[in-house]
Amino acid sequence: MECSFSASPLSHFIHFIPQPEEIQQQIVRETFHLVLKRDDNICNFLEGGSLIGGSDYKLIYRHYATLYFVFCVDSSESELGILDLIQVFVETLDKCFENVCELDLIFHMDKVHYILQEVVMGGMVLETNMNEIVAQIEAQNRLEKSEVNSVLPP
């Protein structure tokens, strides 16, 4: 699960492994409360809550301005590796949206999902080179524009 939310209990972007909607909402609430009650001066990873899988899973998060980016990973993952992955993801979002903010996550969720899928798919890290990720996003944008132009009447 990857999740982004602001200091308010509104989650803006969530990518789940398929779960029933009710369970997803409970997980978001539990994650929100676990992360938000932590001081900014303590480490950015903690054991998952009871709904998340307890000690088998970890929540790894980074706080940027008003946004929190949270990844839930199994206990075998490297905490520092995931923190670096979050950094790459956020820097890529910054490049694609020119200073990413909450509204970008809300109104361009499809693009955010696409960017995440360029970085991680099926639990495997695919790419961490930000320039390569941005190049793929730009190629996708050009393809979408050419498809729109070919459909529009002259």
Please report which confidence band the pLDDT of residue 10 belongs to, taking 50, 70 and 90 as the band edges: very low
134-148 core/surface letters (b: 16 or more CB in 10 A; e: else): bebbeeeeeeeeeee
Start-end of H helices in 43-129: 79-97, 102-107, 109-119
Tens-place pLDDT, residues 91-127 = 999 999 988 888 888 899 889 888 988 888 877 888 8
Could you give the domains of the chain?
A: 2-151 (3.30.450.60)
Q: Any idea which of 12-16, 28-32, 118-122 has the lowest mean pLDDT?
A: 12-16
Tens-place pLDDT, residues 124-136 = 888 889 999 999 9
